[in-house]
C-alpha cells in the first residue's frame, strides 16, 4: 500500500524516522541511493524516485516506503553550496536528508542485507562499503552512464533503465511520470493531510500543486545545471527536453509559483552556487565531487571540478609554504592520492574559456605502478576525446596534463 501524498519536507522526515525504526527493529527497507560523488543529480534523482514511488508504489513492491540516501556523511554537505540554494525552492532543509551517518556503524546492526533492497540512481555499480554489504541486494536502476553489467536483468517491479542522457533526473521523471500524475489527482492525499498544515478540504488540490511545484523545481535544478540550461548540444537528449517541459508545466499549475517562475534566472542562481568554491581549500575542492573504485587491482579516483586547472594549481600554491612553487601542485595531488591509497587519479574540469567558450580539461597523475594504465588511457582516449597536450603555468614541465578541445564530446 502506497503512502498518502504529503509535502517533500514531511516525506523526508518520515523517511529518516522510518530508517531509524527499521534499523532498531530489523524491518525491511527499500533504499534509493545515488553515486559516491553525491552531486546534485544524484541528490535530486534519489529524492524524486523515492518520493514519487512511495506515493504510488507497485502492489508487489518490497516495501511501500522508499528511502532516499545521500551517499556521503552529513558533514560533506557543506561542500555543496548548490544544495542549499535548491532546498530553498523545495522547502526542505539539510537536517531532513538521510545520509551515511544515518546507517548503522557496525556489522552487528539490524539492517541486514536480506531485509534490504537497493535501487541505484546516477550509477549502476554499487561501490565501497555499501557495495560490500548490499551489492547483492540491488533490484532496480535508473542511470545515464555506461552499463557496467552488475545489475540483474530482471528487476521487476522496479525499472532497469540505463541510457545516455544529460541528467539522470530526466530519466527518473520519464520513468515515473505516470505515477506522479496519478499521485497528484488528490485521491492519494491522506485525510486531513493538507489541512493539517492549516488548509481546508477545499484547498487539497491547491496544496498538491504547491508540493508538485516544489518537487519540480528541485528536479529541474540538476537537469538545467547538467545541460547548461539545455544549451549543451553534445549532452542534451530528448528525455532532458521533455522532462524540462513536463516539470515547468507542474510549476505553472501552481498559481503562486507560476507568477514568479523564470527558468534562466533559476538556472543562473543554482549554477552560480555550484561554482562558488573559492573559499574551499584544495582537499575539499577535490573531494566535493569525487568517485573511487578498483579496477584490475588498481585503485582509481576521479574528481570533477567546476573551475579550470589553473585555478586548482593556484589553490595548491596558495596553501604551500614551500619555495618550490612549480612542484607544489604535483606534491599536493600526490598527498591526496596517498591519503586514499590511489594508484591513479584524474581531475576533470569544466569552465568557460577567456573567449567565452565552454571547455573541459583532464589531468592525470599516477604512481609508477599506474603509468602503463595512464598511458594506455591517454592513447585510447586521445582521438575519441580530442585530447591535446596542455601546459599549465605552474606545472609546465610536468607530463600528464591534458585537455580535450572545447569541441570534444565531453
Per-residue pLDDT tens digits for 299-326: 999 999 999 988 999 888 888 776 666 6
Q: Are 29 and 45 in contact (CB under 8 A)?
A: no
Higher pLDDT among residues 401 and 43, named by residue? 43
Mean pLDDT comparison of 234-238, 378-382, 391-395, highest-scoring range = 234-238
Q: Angle at the Cα of 131 (from 27 to 342), degrees rounded to 5?
A: 150
Reading the block at residue 291, the C-alpha cell is 568517485
Nearest CA-CA partner of 219 in 270, 264, 258: 270
Q: What share of the chain in percent tops pLDDT 90?
A: 62
Higher pLDDT among residues 21 and 396, named by residue? 21
Nearest CA-CA partner of 348 in 361, 339, 329, 364: 361
Nearest CA-CA partner of 47 in 187, 285, 216, 213: 216
Residues 6+ apart with CB under 8 A from 133: 113
Backbone φ and ψ for 317, nearest 5 degrees, come out as: -65, -40
Round to whole Å and give the CA distance between 236 and 225. 11
Reading the block at residue 230, the C-alpha cell is 539545455
Residue 275 has pLDDT above 50, yes or no: yes
Mean pLDDT of the chain: 86
Question: What is residue 386's predicted lDDT score, i.e. its pLDDT?
Answer: 67
Q: Are 146 and 138 in contact (CB under 8 A)?
A: no
Round to whole Å and give the CA distance between 377 and 372. 9
Reading the block at residue 272, the C-alpha cell is 552560480
Question: What is residue 353's predicted lDDT score, i.e. its pLDDT?
Answer: 76
SS3 of residue 31 by DSSP: strand
By CB atoms closer than 10 A (0-12, 13-18, 19+), residue 179 is middle
Question: What is residue 209's predicted lDDT score, i.e. its pLDDT?
Answer: 94
Residue 401 has pLDDT above 50, yes or no: no
- Average pLDDT, stretch 371-379? 80
- pTM check: above 0.85: no
Q: Are 163 and 144 in contact (CB under 8 A)?
A: yes
Residue 167 has pLDDT above 50, yes or no: yes
Question: What is residue 192's predicted lDDT score, i.e. its pLDDT?
Answer: 44
Question: What is residue 14's predicted lDDT score, i.e. its pLDDT?
Answer: 95
Reading the block at residue 285, the C-alpha cell is 575542492
Q: Which of 133-142, 174-183, 207-216, 398-407 has the lowest average pLDDT?
A: 398-407
Higher pLDDT among residues 287 and 406, named by residue? 287
Lateral strand order in the sheet of 29-33: 66-69, 29-33, 116-121, 138-143, 160-162
- Average pLDDT, stretch 202-219? 90
The DSSP element (H or E) to which 2 belongs, if any, is none
Answer positive or negative: Cα dihedral of 374, 375, 380, 386.
Answer: positive
Question: What is residue 154's predicted lDDT score, i.e. its pLDDT?
Answer: 96
Question: What is residue 195's predicted lDDT score, i.e. its pLDDT?
Answer: 43
Taking the CB of residue 390, how many other CB atoms lie within 10 A of it? 15
- Average pLDDT, stretch 336-343? 94
Question: What is residue 361's predicted lDDT score, i.e. its pLDDT?
Answer: 86
Reading the block at residue 293, the C-alpha cell is 573504485
Q: Which of 70-84, 113-127, 136-150, 350-364 has the lowest average pLDDT?
A: 350-364
Strands 160-162 and 138-143: parallel
Beta bridge partners of 402: 362, 389
Chain centroid to Cα 5, Å, comes to 24
Q: Which of 64-73, 194-203, 245-254 has the lowest average pLDDT?
A: 194-203
Q: Where are the alpha helices (DSSP H) in 29-124?
A: 40-55, 81-90
Round to whole Å and give the CA distance between 231 and 237. 11
Q: Which of 20-34, 195-209, 320-334 has the lowest average pLDDT?
A: 195-209
Cα first-last separation, the chain? 43
Q: What share of the chain in percent tops pLDDT 70?
A: 86
Residue 127 has pLDDT above 50, yes or no: yes
Q: Which of 142-156, 362-376, 394-408 has the lowest average pLDDT?
A: 394-408
Q: Which of 63-77, 152-166, 176-190, 361-375 has the lowest average pLDDT?
A: 176-190
Nearest CA-CA partner of 43 in 54, 56, 57, 32: 32
Residue 202 has pLDDT above 70, yes or no: no
- Helix count (H) and strand count (E) of the chain? 13, 11
Question: What is residue 362's predicted lDDT score, i.e. its pLDDT?
Answer: 87
Question: What is residue 400's predicted lDDT score, i.e. its pLDDT?
Answer: 42
Grid cell 501524498 in the structure block, residue: 5
Q: Are 346 and 302 in contact (CB under 8 A)?
A: yes
Question: What is residue 395's predicted lDDT score, i.e. its pLDDT?
Answer: 52
C-alpha distance from residue 166 to each of 208, 262, 362 (Å)? 28, 21, 20
Question: What is residue 357's predicted lDDT score, i.e. its pLDDT?
Answer: 76
Residue 249 has pLDDT above 50, yes or no: yes
Amino acid at each position: 500500500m502506497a503512502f498518502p501524498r504529503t509535502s517533500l519536507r514531511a516525506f523526508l522526515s518520515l523517511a529518516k524516522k522510518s530508517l531509524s525504526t527499521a534499523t532498531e527493529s530489523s524491518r525491511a527497507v527499500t533504499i534509493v541511493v545515488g553515486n559516491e560523488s553525491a552531486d546534485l543529480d544524484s541528490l535530486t534523482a534519489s529524492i524524486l524516485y523515492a518520493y514519487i514511488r512511495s506515493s504510488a508504489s507497485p502492489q508487489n513492491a518490497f516495501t511501500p516506503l522508499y528511502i532516499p540516501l545521500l551517499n556521503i556523511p552529513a558533514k560533506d554537505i557543506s561542500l555543496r553550496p548548490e544544495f542549499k540554494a535548491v532546498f530553498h525552492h523545495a522547502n526542505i532543509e539539510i537536517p531532513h536528508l538521510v545520509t551515511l551517518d544515518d546507517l548503522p556503524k557496525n556489522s552487528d546492526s539490524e539492517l541486514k542485507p536480506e531485509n534490504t533492497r537497493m535501487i541505484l540512481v546516477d550509477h549502476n555499480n554499487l561501490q565501497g562499503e555499501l557495495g560490500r554489504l548490499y551489492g547483492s541486494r540491488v533490484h532496480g536502476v535508473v542511470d545515464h552512464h555506461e552499463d557496467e553489467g552488475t545489475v540483474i536483468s530482471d528487476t521487476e517491479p522496479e525499472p532497469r533503465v540505463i541510457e545516455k542522457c544529460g541528467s539522470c533526473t530526466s530519466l527518473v521523471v520519464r520513468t515515473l511520470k505516470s505515477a506522479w500524475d496519478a499521485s497528484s489527482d488528490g485521491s492519494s492525499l491522506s485525510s486531513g493531510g493538507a489541512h493539517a498544515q492549516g488548509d481546508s478540504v477545499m484547498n487539497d488540490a491547491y496544496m498538491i500543486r504547491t508540493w508538485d511545484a516544489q518537487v519540480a523545481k528541485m528536479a529541474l535544478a540538476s537537469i538545467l545545471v547538467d545541460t547548461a540550461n539545455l544549451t549543451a548540444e553534445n549532452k542534451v537528449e530528448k528525455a532532458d527536453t521533455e522532462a524540462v517541459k513536463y516539470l515547468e508545466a507542474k510549476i505553472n499549475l501552481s498559481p503562486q509559483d507560476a507568477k514568479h517562475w523564470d527558468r534562466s534566472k533559476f538556472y543562473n542562481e543554482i549554477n552560480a552556487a555550484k561554482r562558488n568554491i573559492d573559499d574551499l581549500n584544495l582537499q575539499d575542492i577535490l573531494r566535493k565531487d569525487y568517485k573511487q573504485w578498483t579496477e584490475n587491482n588498481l585503485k582509481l579516483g576521479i574528481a570533477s571540478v567546476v573551475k579550470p586547472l589553473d585555478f586548482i594549481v593556484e589553490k595548491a600554491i596558495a596553501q604551500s609554504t614551500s619555495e618550490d612553487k612549480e612542484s607544489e601542485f604535483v606534491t599536493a595531488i600526490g598527498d591526496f592520492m596517498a591519503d586514499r591509497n590511489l594508484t591513479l587519479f584524474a581531475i576533470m574540469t569544466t569552465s568557460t574559456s577567456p573567449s567565452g567558450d565552454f571547455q573541459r580539461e583532464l589531468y592525470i597523475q599516477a604512481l609508477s605502478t599506474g603509468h602503463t594504465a595512464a598511458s594506455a588511457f591517454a592513447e585510447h582516449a586521445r582521438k575519441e576525446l580530442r585530447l591535446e597536450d596542455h601546459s599549465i603555468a605552474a606545472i609546465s614541465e610536468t607530463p600528464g596534463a591534458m585537455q580535450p578541445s572545447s569541441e570534444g564530446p565531453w
